Every structure is written in C-alpha cells, then in structure tokens.
Structure 1
C-alpha cells in the first residue's frame, strides 16, 4: 500500500520523466473535475502521501492514492493493464501516457492560492524531508487531538506528521514497545518524539529500490517485524503476533501482546 516512502519515490521518478516537458493534455475522470490542455510541468513533488504536479500556469494537480491507487507509464497507443474507467488522471506527452488509477483524491489547486496554502498548513512535517521539531510536534498534537486518542489514530493522522501509513504504524509501535490502544496521555514528550523519529528513520531507509523493510536482519525470516505476521511467533519473544481492526478509521493492526504490553 502506498505510504510516504512510496510517494516520495514516485515523485522522484515522475519528476525525472516530466519536469521541463510540455504535456499535451491532463485528463481527469469527471468525478474529480475538469481536464486541461497543453502546459509545461515545472516539477513533481511529494508531501507525505500527497503527490503534486506543478505547472507553469500557476496550477498544481494534487493526488492521493489512498489504499488502491497506482501510477502506470505506457507508450502512447499501448494497451493498459487496467480498465480505462479506473483512470483518475491521464497525463499525456507526445510519447507516453502517465496514468493514475483508482486515486482516492484528485484536486486542481492554484500554486499561489488559498487552497494550496491551506493544504500545506493542514499537513504536518513530511517525515522524509523535514526534521522532526519537538515543540511543533507537541503543539500539533495538542491542537488537533484529545489526550485519550489512541496511538493507532495518532500515527495515521497526517496533520501531526505526514508519511506514516498502516504498515509503518504497526512497525513503529512494535519497535517502540507501545501498545496500539495506549493513549496520547500515556506518553511523555520524549516518548512521543521517539515514535516520530523512529518513523522518519524507517521511511528514510526505504527510499532505494527493493521491498519495504523494517527488520534489517539477514536471516531470511522476514523483512517486517509484525505487519502481516498474524499468529506467527514474535521475533523477540516467540508469542504469536496478534491482529485486529482498530482505530476511528478501522485498519488492520499487528502487535505482540508481550513486547508491547
């Protein structure tokens, strides 16, 4: 599933392919708004799990892949691997179509407009690009979340810090020995900061090629500590890993009931 590391790598790839080029059309699924004609791409960037294509006419196209979205590249005229009805965005050049399928959100923005500024303000620090500032982290937590908010909800809230998805949520909580249903009020400032520094480190470790990895042990037993390992023994204590659907927006969470209390 796309998380901050995936979107960052996607932005780097699309920027190399499109920055400085004139695209012949930007076609949106009608559910997301109007299509547009030829324009030059200035850059492609990521902010957490959001991707921005910025153009030379003061517009930017924001997309969020959600759980099921994906970008594909096809030579013009080639068959697509997914049905055309699933295309949320098609960015065409003279030689290629860059197709975003099944996006959760797509939005036109003015680069210098209120909506773009508001979008940036509503996202916390990008954990790949920005240093974690302790005072700002605590300020955003106090501003947006109640003290009884669970840690599964805390880590997925992009207003606090951007880039953590469902896999990193479970892995960070395991590595920091925090129970998924512990509350914000259970953490002091140092423990709160440690969660986000751990997430930033893991995201940074996964900016190269290869499968997502949080367990850097070359024993062939697995790349992740708990995610996807329901009923398998914990790598630390041997207790079967648990799984449950938790949180305000229910998502699968994996944890060790012994190591994480």
Structure 2
C-alpha cells in the first residue's frame, strides 16, 4: 500500500534513472501522448503521496498511485508481469519501459501553471522532507477542520500533513495510545504534536530498502504493531486487536481496546 515513504523512495529511484533522459515515447491509458515525445525529463519529485515528473517542454505529470498502483521497469520488448490493460502510464527512454500500473490518478499539468501550484499548495508539508513544526500543523488543522473531526480522519487528511496513509494511521494511533474515534478538539496540543512527531519518525525510518517497519523488536513476532493483526494479541497487553471501518471514508483501522 503506497504511502509517503514509498513515493519518496520512488522519486529518488526514478530521478536517478530518468532525469536528463529524453523520452522516446509516452503513453497514457494506451494512447500515445505526442506532445511529450522527445521531451527531456528535467526533474522528478514527490510531495506526500503525489509524484511529479517535470519535462522540458513545460508539462508536468502528476501521478497518484492510490491503494493499488505500482511502478515497474522493463527492457523494451520484454514481457510485463502484469496485463497491458492495467498500464496507466508508460514512459520509454534509453531502451527501458517505465510502467505505472493501476494508478488512481495521472494528470498532465503545466509545470509553472496555476493548477500545479494549486495542487501542491493545498497539500500539507511532506513529513518525509519538510520537517514542519507541530505548531504550524496545529494551525493548519484548526483552520481546515472542525473540532468534531475524528483522529482517523485527521491523520489521513493530506491538507494538514502529506504522506500518512492507512497503515501509518493505525500504527501512529497505537503508539500514542489514542482511541481512533477520539475527536480532534478533545486532544491536547501536546498529544497533537506527539502524533505528528511519531508520523515523521516512522516515515523517515522507512526511507531505506525493505518492508515497512514500525516495530523493531527482534523477536520474530512481526514488524507492525497493529495493522493487519485483527484478532491477534496486542504486543503490549495481550488483548485481542480490533478492526473496523472508521472515519469519513470507512477505511480499515486496527487498534487495541485496552492500550488505546
């Protein structure tokens, strides 16, 4: 499940492979994007869950993988591991196909245009890059949200801070001992700051290779505290963990009814 750390790592990898390269072709939903052919890639960056690919002709591709999207690289002509019908975006350069499968959104923007500025400006600071202060995030939250907003929705709101996804949401709430349905207006400034400091720490700790890890105990019992562990015992207290679809978008949330 791609979250901010995944997109950060992806931007780093694609930058090393593609920046400075000239596209041989570009295809969106199977159709050639003639306007991008032969353009040189000037930069690749991420903000939260969004990837931006800037081209010398003035266009910028915005890619949001959603829950199921992924990028693959293949030598041109090699068979792909997924069906071509699932290829949302294909960039070909220097004998390689860079294939984005099952993306939630791909949009062509003007690199210096209003729409791209609006797209990036309305996102909160990227916790894996920007090191925002808790005070600045609290100001954004109080400006944009009502006190009745549940914590499950607060943490997933990319306008406050970008990069937190559904896995981190559950892990952060567990580590800070917050009941998921607690209202934003009911927590202290200190608890708010602790939630986002933990989020930043987890994202930064997972910018290397390998699977996403929030639990580092070398006991063979798992690398996540609660996510995906419904019905299993809590690592802290032994209580069976719960799973329920909570919040505005009814996303799966895992938590310990005793510790939280």
**Structure 2 length as normaliser, TM-score?**
0.97
CA distance in 2, matches of 1:94, 1:171: 41
Question: Does the aligned pair in 1 maintain the 2:69–2:104 contact within 8 Å?
Answer: yes
Structure 1 residues 110 and 217, CA, compared in 2 at 3 Å: closer, same or farther?
A: same
Question: Does the aligned pair in 2 maintain the 1:52–1:61 contact within 8 Å?
Answer: yes
Unaligned runs of 5+ in 2: none
Q: CA deviation at 1:26?
A: 1.6
Q: CA deviation at 1:36?
A: 2.9
The answer to whether the aligner puts 1:59 opposite 2:59 as a matched pair is yes
Structure 1 residues 34 and 225, CA, compared in 2 at 3 Å: closer, same or farther?
A: farther
Unaligned runs of 5+ in 1: none
- How many residue pairs align between the two structures? 260
Instruction: Tell me what 1:181 maps to.
Output: 181
Question: Does the aligned pair in 2 maintain the 1:132–1:196 contact within 8 Å?
Answer: no
Instruction: Tell me what 2:80 maps to.
Output: 80
CA distance in 2, matches of 1:179, 1:229: 17
CA distance in 2, matches of 1:47, 1:179: 28
CA distance in 2, matches of 1:68, 1:149: 27
Instruction: Tell me what 2:130 maps to.
Output: 130
Residues 26-105 of structure 1: matches in 2 within 5 Å?
26-29=26-29, 36-105=36-105
Q: CA deviation at 1:135?
A: 3.0
Q: CA deviation at 1:35?
A: 6.3
Structure 1 residues 166 and 35, CA, compared in 2 at 3 Å: closer, same or farther?
A: farther
Instruction: Tell me what 2:15 maps to.
Output: 15
Instruction: Tell me what 2:24 maps to.
Output: 24
CA distance in 1, matches of 2:182, 2:135: 22
Instruction: Render the CA deviation track for 1:75-96: whole Å, top value 9, x for unaligned.
Output: 0001111111111100011311
CA distance in 2, matches of 1:48, 1:83: 28
Q: CA deviation at 1:34?
A: 7.6
Instruction: Render the CA deviation track for 1:199-222: whole Å, top value 9, x for unaligned.
Output: 000001101111110001111111
| Secondary structure at 2:27 match in 1 | strand
Instruction: Tell me what 1:196 maps to.
Output: 196
Question: Does the aligned pair in 1 maintain the 2:51–2:62 contact within 8 Å?
Answer: yes
Instruction: Render the CA deviation track for 1:67-125: whole Å, top value 9, x for unaligned.
Output: 11111101000111111111110001131100001110111111111011101111001
Q: CA deviation at 1:176?
A: 0.3
Instruction: Tell me what 1:214 maps to.
Output: 214
Q: CA RMSD in A?
A: 1.5
CA distance in 2, matches of 1:68, 1:153: 20
| Range 219-228 or range 126-135, more displaced | 126-135
Q: CA deviation at 1:37?
A: 1.4
CA distance in 2, matches of 1:74, 1:212: 25
Instruction: Tell me what 2:243 maps to.
Output: 243
| Secondary structure at 2:53 match in 1 | strand
CA distance in 1, matches of 2:34, 2:105: 14
Q: CA deviation at 1:249?
A: 0.8
Q: CA deviation at 1:27?
A: 1.1
